[in-house]
Structure 1
């Protein structure tokens, strides 16, 4: 009898895992509590994989030898608790896919900057002509690519949820951008649990591997000794400090190892302090992979911005509109506000993940002329911001939101959608929220 693998969740990662499991000869079953998208049903059907939607039939699941769980399903879910009690191994799609490829893994995590850094690294590798796949939180599922492609490198964006169910998987290059409070609702509101989750990216690394991280992050510095890292350390910082492998010196970005080179800071395609860090992390990883400095310089200077990340939408009668819908935590919003050169009408709101708005309080006082709260329940935002900004408006649709923000903005100001919150109260996803924002702005 072939080993039985049950996959919970039939989104991008679940469908991809099912295809790989089938290819490797397992008895495969896919179960999703929601309705499965047509594209994934067609993929599963084309491979002869059994699936169910709108329910979890326990007798078809509890007999699994191993479970591959969607990162979105929390451990508290009753079915997961039953599987844990039975001792059934529960792994992530990334863990599963890693068993069937010898490709080099470049893995990126952090509370902020993951998507931009991942996209930037992929752009450098691709521009240099390497045989490379993009996976994890962006791109196609890693498992599907392992099943159907034959890449030499994978650039993988990893959330803390994906890291939680990784055990043997090894990152050849691990990148940790920063750690700030996020998703604490999934970690018993215990920051250490979230930190430990992020540091899982370094587990299984050997002295042949590299760990790239932001040197000035106090949490990372404090945790380095605790986590006993075996990889070579490649810290980056704005300042030139002992041991730092990338830094800024007289408007030049300097990379010191393994091949020393530098480039003018103004040549970087991405602006703002946070993007300087993203460019440094990407440059170090490409340098470690042996990509020539000419290719790294060129790719860092011609990269196109990521959608929903400080994305310039339009200028309407002197008012700039910026889509930062991917800012689903307070620290992301801090970076966005910090990079603004004008007064801002700031759009906040959505599903709160246990946010502490103190981090952006001073920036809001200094830079924000008006606030628009876009959400079903804005009480926590009112509790914190009432009295700190003169004009505050509540809305429950994107059309009203954009119209109100436009009316509040003076010529020369910026309307910034950087919500600090998840999108699930009014939108399908942060992408849906960002696209609706852009559509409404373009209809002004």
Structure 2
């Protein structure tokens, strides 16, 4: 196909561009970061977003993070998601089994757990993590376990999984979707596309939605870890994880049971939780620090706080909160021994909330200042917790960089600290 446009030049689209090049297909790439005309290593034209002309494009494959109100999306006539593009290439010779995992928190952990459980069946993880879809397709991976964002599903119109696993949904990405209801609708959208021979694991709170009522396949509705374990017929005590990872692990086991009739708890218990998600470490004075930089929304931060509610918590909050309501955090910590260290673009919002709820707060502006301030007062038995309830992109390149710098600052042997 000629006249292919690529929207965005990043982690998602670069493998697609390479894939197209190997098929002998040129494309034109548009991105906000381009200020003028240039070319990539494959000879593809790179242009600023403002240069896009819809009449010169027959197909637009996009990076899912581009919001629906962006000028590229408003101009485009033939948008296709990464999922739809590769789904269109499936045929009778190659049509892999696909699992999509979504939700507000726990997507990565659940995806990695299920990939581990289904390793003997050829499972490979992709989507937001793991192997790019282009590579999964080229390597003919037979089982795709895809961490799937609401962004990807918003733009997907045809592709659908064999099994869709939805973790709890909480307020997030409001500025992108426009409303919490729109966010929920995109999370439930796969149910409208799936076939009768499919499976879905969905929070019970959505049981009365039209998407769930009209779903054609076999559905499991769950409330919490305890009820899910009971239905699955397993003992929670046999699983080595506690919340929030306990729910992730039981959901992964349930998905494995639906697909292959297996509940391999022994293999599950070998899983190691990834970095920047409630990752504990000690400084040279043996004081406890916790890197939860991946806690980019309110619900994740609530779970992290609950985990340490029996300790005095020095809590670093702040960043780009994407317009979400932060008050549930303060509803929880007003009755706990918590001090807030506010950073990032929503610092003033957090300061006002702290004052309104009678929570002690420190204006720190940036992460290094917050860590240095905490070092002066942190004692054995306390916990210094980075769980920002916000995106990192106002001050960092990623949540990973934020977490790595947090650990670096915490472990520095500053004089007197």
SS in 1 for 2:193: coil
Distance (whole Å) between structure 2 residues aligned to residue 336 and residue 155 of structure 1: 26
Question: Paired residue for 1:20?
Answer: 19
2:292 to 324, 341, 347: 324
Question: Paired residue for 1:157?
Answer: 147
SS in 2 for 1:289: helix
CA contact (8 A) 1:318 1:413 kept: no
Question: Paired residue for 2:307?
Answer: 339
1:280 aligns with 2:269: no
Question: Paired residue for 1:232?
Answer: 218
1:187 aligns with 2:158: no
Residues 267-416 of structure 1 correspond to what in structure 2 (within 5 A)? 267-272=238-243, 274-290=244-260, 292-293=262-263, 296-340=264-308, 341-386=310-355, 388-416=357-385
Distance (whole Å) between structure 2 residues aligned to residue 347 and residue 99 of structure 1: 45
* CA 1:163–1:238: 2 relative to 1, 3 Å: closer
Question: Paired residue for 2:86?
Answer: 97
CA contact (8 A) 1:330 1:357 kept: yes
* CA 1:202–1:25: 2 relative to 1, 3 Å: farther
* Residues 23-61 of structure 1: per-residue CA shift (max 9 Å, x gap): 45644222222269xxxx9xx62xx350416555325x6
CA contact (8 A) 2:188 2:211 kept: no
Distance apart, 1:94 and its partner CA: 1.9
CA contact (8 A) 2:334 2:359 kept: no
Distance (whole Å) between structure 2 residues aligned to residue 327 and residue 431 of structure 1: 11
SS in 2 for 1:309: coil
CA contact (8 A) 1:32 1:55 kept: yes
1:57 aligns with 2:69: no
1:210 aligns with 2:181: no
Distance (whole Å) between structure 2 residues aligned to residue 438 and residue 201 of structure 1: 38
* Residues 377-404 of structure 1: per-residue CA shift (max 9 Å, x gap): 4111112111535532122332222121
What's the C-alpha RMSD, in Å, of the aligned pairs? 2.4
CA contact (8 A) 1:368 1:389 kept: no
SS in 2 for 1:408: coil
Distance (whole Å) between structure 2 residues aligned to residue 347 and residue 367 of structure 1: 15
Question: Paired residue for 1:138?
Answer: 129
CA contact (8 A) 2:201 2:221 kept: yes
* Residues 229-253 of structure 1: per-residue CA shift (max 9 Å, x gap): 1120123344776xxxx324xxxxx
1:81 aligns with 2:74: yes
TM-score, normalised by the number of residues in structure 2: 0.90
Distance (whole Å) between structure 1 residues aligned to residue 253 and residue 63 of structure 2: 31
* CA 1:270–1:240: 2 relative to 1, 3 Å: closer
Q: Which runs of 5+ in 2 are unaligned?
A: none
1:115 aligns with 2:117: no
CA contact (8 A) 2:115 2:125 kept: yes
Question: Paired residue for 1:419?
Answer: 388
- Name the stretch that deviates more: 329-338 or 94-103: 94-103
Question: Paired residue for 1:255?
Answer: 232
Distance (whole Å) between structure 1 residues aligned to residue 289 and residue 356 of structure 2: 25
CA contact (8 A) 1:237 1:247 kept: no
Distance (whole Å) between structure 2 residues aligned to residue 133 and residue 194 of structure 1: 27
Question: Paired residue for 1:8?
Answer: 7
* CA 1:370–1:308: 2 relative to 1, 3 Å: same
1:106 aligns with 2:74: no
CA contact (8 A) 1:236 1:247 kept: no
SS in 1 for 2:242: coil
Aligned length: 405
SS in 1 for 2:290: strand
* CA 1:410–1:7: 2 relative to 1, 3 Å: same
CA contact (8 A) 2:28 2:47 kept: no
CA contact (8 A) 1:137 1:157 kept: yes
Distance apart, 1:130 and its partner CA: 2.5
Distance (whole Å) between structure 2 residues aligned to residue 176 and residue 239 of structure 1: 14
* CA 1:387–1:120: 2 relative to 1, 3 Å: same
